[in-house]
Amino acid sequence: MRSDYDEDFMDSYSLSSSILDYQYENGRRYASFRSTHHIYLMLMGGELFNAPIKNPQKVLDLGTGTGNWAIDFADQYPGAVVVGNDLSPIQPAWVPPNVDFFVDDYESDWLEKMNAYDFIHSRNLAGCVVDWHRLIRQAYDHLKPGGYLELQESAVWAWSDDGTLRMDSPLMEYLMSLNDAAHMIGRELNIYIDLKPWLIAHGFEDVHEQTYILPFSPWPQDPRLREIGRVQAAMVEKAVEAYGLRLCTQVLGWSQERTKLMQGLVRQQLKDRSLHSYTKIKVAYGRKPLI
C-alpha cells in the first residue's frame, strides 16, 4: 500500500481499467462486477472470504457474474474444484483449469447431489433473490457436514455520523425510492441485516458476522478508508444510473427525464467532500453441523 496518497495518482488509479470495467446495454453504461470485487478485496484486507475453511475440495459461487471471485479462489486453491453459476453466460473464456461455469437459476431446484460442497459463497444477491429462506435451505442441504456458507451483502442505504447527510437530501430520497420499488416487486434490497439471523434460523452453527464501512468518497482521515473511498466514488459516479434506471422507470413509473434529473442530483451531492456519507457491507458465515 502506498504511503503517499497523491491526489492525481489516486484519481488515475481509481479509474484505471484494472479496477473499472463497463458494459453497454441499450446505450447506458453498466458497471461490471470487477470494480465491486476490487472494493470487497480492499475492505477485507485482500481476503476473499472470512469463513475458517481448510483444504476445500469443492466450492460453489452462487450468482458468480463475471466470475472474478471464483477465478481468484481457484488461483488461491488450485486443489479445489470451483463451480460458479449464473443466469447470464458472461464469464471469461480463459479461466484456471479448476473452474467450471454453468448457466443455471440458483432459485430453482438444485440438481447437484446433497452434501456436495465444502464451501458455498454468495455476494450482492440482494434484489435478485425472491425467497432467501429457500436459497439458504438448499445451500445447507448441499453442504457437506462441517462445510460453510458465507453471505456477503451491501446495504442499499447511507449514513453519516456527523449529521452531514440529511434525510431530505437527493441521495436519501433516491435510496428510499429504490427500496420502495424493489419492495413492490418482492425483491428486498436491504437484507444485509438479516444474514446472521437467517443462518442461525436455518441450523448453522459457529455463526459470525463482520461489518465493514464503505465511504462514498475519499473524505475519511484514515488513509486506508480514504483510498477505498476514492475507488468507490469513481465506481458510483458511473454506476448510479445502472442501479436505478429500471426500478424508477418501470416500477415507479418515473419518466426518463425525472429519473435522470434525480440521478444527476445524487452524483452532484456525492462529489461534495464535506458530505461524510458511507454505506455498510456485512459478511456472515456459518457451519453446517457435523451430525
Residues 22-45 pLDDT 10s: 333 333 333 345 688 999 999 999
- 227, part of any domain: yes
Nearest alpha carbon to residue 197 among 210, 186, 189, 208: 208
Helix, coil or strand: residue 2 = coil
Contact predicate 99/70, CB 8 Å = yes
Q: Give a yes or no: residue 1 inside a domain.
A: no
pLDDT tens sequence across 53-99? 999 999 999 999 889 999 999 999 999 999 999 888 777 888 899 99
pLDDT at 221 over 80: yes
Does any domain span residue 2?
no
Give, rounded to a whole angstrom, the gap between the first and last alpha carbons of the chain: 44
- Spatial contact of 201 and 284, defined as CB atoms under 8 Å apart: no
Q: What percent of the chain has pLDDT over 70?
A: 88
Q: How far, rounded to the nearest angstrom, does the alpha carbon of residue 264 sit from its chain's CA centroid? A: 23
CB atoms within 10 A of CB 265: 15
Q: What is the pLDDT of residues 148-164, one digit of tens each?
A: 999 999 999 999 999 99
Tell me if residue 63 falls in helix, strand or coil. Answer: coil
Helices 256-270 & 170-184 angle (0-180, nearest 10)? 130
Q: In what order do the strands lie in the sheet with 205-215?
A: 99-103, 81-86, 58-62, 117-123, 143-154, 278-287, 205-215
Q: Is residue 226 part of a domain?
A: yes
Mean pLDDT of 9-20: 33
Contact 213, 226 (CB under 8 A): no
101 strand-pairing partners: 84
Residue 48 has pLDDT above 50, yes or no: yes
Split into its structural domains, the chain has a count of 1
User: Would you state the pLDDT for residue 35?
Assistant: 80
* Domain membership flag for residue 150: yes
Q: Does the pLDDT at position 224 exceed 50?
A: yes
pLDDT band at 11 (very low <50, low <70, confident <90, very high): very low
Amino acid at residue number 105: D
Kindly state the percentage of the chain with pLDDT values over 90: 75
Instruction: Measure the CA–CA gap between 159 and 148, rounded to whole angstroms.
Output: 31
pLDDT of res. 71: 95
Q: What is the largest CA-CA distance in the chain?
A: 58
* β partners of residue 84: 61, 101
Q: What pLDDT shows up at residue 204?
A: 99
Report the CATH number at residue 217: 3.40.50.150
Report helix, strand and coil shares of the chain as percent, to nearest 5: 35, 20, 40
Is residue 81 included in any domain, yes or no?
A: yes
Per mean pLDDT, which of 29-38, 105-114, 175-184 is the most reliable?
A: 175-184
116 within some domain: yes
Is 191 within the bounds of a domain? yes
Most confident of the ranges 61-65, 210-214, 231-235: 210-214
Neighbours of 96 (CB within 10 A): 15
Contacts of 25 (CB under 8 A, 6+ apart): none
pLDDT for 89: 78
Q: What angle do CA 165, 21, 12 make, to 5 degrees?
A: 70
pLDDT digits (tens, 9 = 90+) for 244-271: 888 999 999 999 999 999 999 999 999 9
What range does the domain containing 258 cover? 7-287
Q: What is the pTM of this model?
A: 0.87
Return the pLDDT at 34: 65
